[in-house]
Structure 1
């Protein structure tokens, strides 16, 4: 779309819809209305005085036009049938179609696209003001007096999660902007066994009275199979550069280091990068394939206040930092970043919510020359959005996001420390709806398209003393992403410890392929402070299909699939075990112990290789057989 057209659409976006003034008229409806208006202008009327000759000519013209339509329709139907056939063959192979006519390509893309009609708006029960007292915007240090005055230079627009990146690997927490897939490729398991392949040592970091060890929550590794042209300019070992099949594991850990390992062997691909801050979150790679890592510190250190680092992965230099002691924060000097960033490729914008209660939108102005191996950013316009809740205080229901935002179109979905699930329009920076999540929520919302409609799956944890000092209800919710309304909820009664919360600390796994009817969620401290379950629930109504009982788990479950669509689910628990189960029946296929301590981190899977870190200072590579 050209710039003039973008500008026209942007201006029209803010016109109220007369029939429904409470939310904005969609682009689809506006374009439909404009097409109708153009057609009306082109219409003409036949004069009532028509001669017999004129009628004959008119009939001949109609017959001729009908013949042409029939012939073109037959050809179009043939083209469409061929395109659908090609699409089905492509799906069976699991690869993208690259040949054929432009018409075939367009039809295949249309059929494969899961883009849906989506017009978020609130209802009475989800009005933002029910939960949020006020919001503010700051642009390049200037506070906007009126939030409604904010206008973006360019619209941020995300497509479905599977189209977030073309990178061969895993670039953000739970894989993409829908937060629904921390895997790449197929596991192709035959024996359904877990084989410990390798381990690599990590360490610890002291900060005041706190000691942080190994990998913590959420702690998911990132993975990338860098092209040869990119690796040529990286500070890798020569062996790593020469290996065309190398998949690099990039793991930010709580000892202040970022580790770089060979997925198959666990060998170092380059020296660890010491940044000196505790990294609890997963970090993120640039979805465009640029060698950039975005990673936020989860705690202050002897180096200073926590912040976000933007790292050049060619030479492991720090290009930019932000977020430390941000005066715009309503949470004082706290500036932790446990969430995983997303990047809008079209506008070159970094999107990063923080536990300081600020959502950052930073224009990166990225310049990357792959052939010459040069990379730079020159951060420009910086937009910050903050909010304050109706229940917020310094003692309870804190503001701030520890989860990772899920995004579709221009809308971000975030659960916060203060019991608020929010839908934020990233282009107007106005809240669309809010839903009460009761407690300190650390579960990242997961987006899922079902029957052409967008839903969210999310849960919450149990902060001691906010709702109870004994036990509390922990719902697993299915939410209508368009309105924020609860579709269903399945409740668990959970216990908690001060600082080691019960409930759901993990992110829900949405089944696909033969597991597409189910979701999987780890619920902590269900019968006492040591126990927990992995629950399989039906997407349709939230009913329980099966449960696997073990030690409690903060680690997020992962669904893995064979090429035929058959699927298993694996998760890690607080006893140091990795458990592999049948996704339909809950049958335990295998379990392996990799730690004498706790596994809090969430695994990622590339083909049939799984990687996860432990609190007792190990990173493990496990083969799914």
Structure 2
């Protein structure tokens, strides 16, 4: 018996040494193959948060996928989207970073008591009639402004920049695309134009992107066709010229619709520009030279269960993983290096709210997603869900009954179109969301949900629905204030920990666009002809 026990221990030690030795060897020689427990792999990685991820691939047999121009990318070239999307210099993309969870910068100067209008900027107005109505000016969904704090040596290169701004310390510029087709450049403090606008002469519904490398490139997606061209564009802000057009009516695509409402991202290290399209394709383009835009790698897919193609929501990214949601209700995780799906999830209905990534226990990525009530019919269920970002497993689900209506012959959706907002600092245990058209009405509901349990901590009934994403602001003690709007002009300022309403005020604007903030100043666009700035007192 004793001899058998000794043999068992000896063989166990041999096995353990062999197992650990093999696992450690594979970790460094073939990092894509990982056999050790995750905590051991983390130790070997040195606890690094920003590293290439190799999650276990689940069933992806539902994808009918094609690739084009495979030679246009290197599947082994490391892509690492961190939480620093040049954040020290501003907001370069929708929701402020690749995880789509940082729509503000700076700190509030004190306890908020009120909010006041500080300036208004007037856009152009396009009264032409398209097959989808007249779009006017101002901005709509998502229509978020960007704000960039240009270093002096880069600001001097911007085409047409006025000298007065070059002389100002701490110069910040608002960049916003308008439904009239123009992209405007506005002084953050005064609301005055800083340089001549550029135009695609077609409505812009989504949010433009500035290359985080600050190389002068501006990426613009078209929302509606009103002329011959229909696609996405790149402008060189150092020359003021359009330098690239991508035709969204791609003959290889499985859907004949050329819009690009989804906000694109650029990996600053490799120069890969990743842009989902409403034609059902995802484009990956390596831009090493700002003057040369090469042919893209194209991921083309179809899923029989939910065949309606088109990515309007903005994808979230963390390290080499990207999360995408489409019009059919398909949500999937993709390895952005190999451009191969990792896992698949049914999201019930059209998915326009962004894919929001939140790092939690042991820097594990969790995904917050929501769905519209569109394809379910006039009545359906809207969900805000927490998903394990590595496996696709649902952690919890908060749901509300919701409706949609017809507007000019087209569905005006209810449900969740506003991106979910993870709290930070003292609100790090909460996540915020907005349900639209609840309880058979035009009303909305703002909810604060416990990140761990999925229990609603408090909710605020809204007079009308909202598609605009809320933003979080913090003081130096870490107290959270949340600002959000509704479609019929109401602005809300609340205590993010208790739900206490600080300000609720009706304005003369129609809010669909998502705001941004830096310190005490908020900038947001409205339907019509206005981009406005509020200051929190």
Q: Same fold (TM over 0.5)?
A: yes
Q: Which runs of 5+ in 1 are unaligned?
A: 1-7, 36-109, 143-149, 367-375
2:153 to 229, 239, 256: 229
Q: TM-score, normalised on structure 2?
A: 0.88
2:272 to 349, 354, 360: 349
2: CA distance between counterparts of 1:258 and 1:159? 26
2:327 is aligned to 417
If each structure's strand is expressed as a fraction of its own residues, which one has the higher value? 2
2: CA distance between counterparts of 1:195 and 1:278? 30
The residue matched to 1:128 in structure 2 has which SS?
coil
Worse-superposed segment, 290-299 or 439-448: 290-299
1:9 CA drift (Å): 9.6
1: CA distance between counterparts of 2:465 and 2:526? 15
1:200 is aligned to 121
If each structure's helix is expressed as a fraction of its own residues, which one has the higher value? 1
1: CA distance between counterparts of 2:277 and 2:124? 26
- Is 2:430 the counterpart of 1:521? no
2:18 is aligned to none
Q: For residues 249-292 of structure 1, give each alpha carbon's deviation from its aligned partner in whole angstroms, at most 9, with x where no partner exists.
A: 00101111111111111011112222201111111111122222
1:554 is aligned to 467
- Is 2:164 the counterpart of 1:239? yes
Aligned length: 502
2: CA distance between counterparts of 1:360 and 1:508? 25
2: CA distance between counterparts of 1:482 and 1:186? 32
CA gap 1:247/1:594 in 2 versus in 1, 3 angstroms: farther
1:473 is aligned to 381
Misfit runs of 4+, over 3 Å: 8-14, 28-32, 113-119
The answer to whether the 8 Å contact 1:533/1:552 transfers is: yes
The residue matched to 1:417 in structure 2 has which SS?
coil
2:239 is aligned to 315
2:77 is aligned to 155
The answer to whether the 8 Å contact 1:167/1:287 transfers is: no
The answer to whether the 8 Å contact 1:156/1:426 transfers is: no
Q: Which runs of 5+ in 2 are unaligned?
A: 1-25
* Root-mean-square deviation over aligned CA pairs: 2.6
1:454 CA drift (Å): 1.3
1:184 CA drift (Å): 1.2
1:207 CA drift (Å): 4.2
1:177 to 94, 98, 114: 98
1:467 CA drift (Å): 2.2
The answer to whether the 8 Å contact 1:175/1:182 transfers is: yes
Q: TM-score, normalised on structure 1?
A: 0.76
1:445 to 337, 344, 355: 355
1:55 is aligned to none
2: CA distance between counterparts of 1:186 and 1:524? 30
CA gap 1:549/1:484 in 2 versus in 1, 3 angstroms: same
1:114 CA drift (Å): 4.2
CA gap 1:429/1:274 in 2 versus in 1, 3 angstroms: closer
2: CA distance between counterparts of 1:277 and 1:256? 5
CA gap 1:31/1:134 in 2 versus in 1, 3 angstroms: farther
1:595 to 496, 505, 508: 508
CA gap 1:555/1:257 in 2 versus in 1, 3 angstroms: same
The answer to whether the 8 Å contact 2:370/2:416 transfers is: yes
1:268 is aligned to 193
2: CA distance between counterparts of 1:317 and 1:256? 15
CA gap 1:381/1:273 in 2 versus in 1, 3 angstroms: closer
The answer to whether the 8 Å contact 1:522/1:553 transfers is: yes
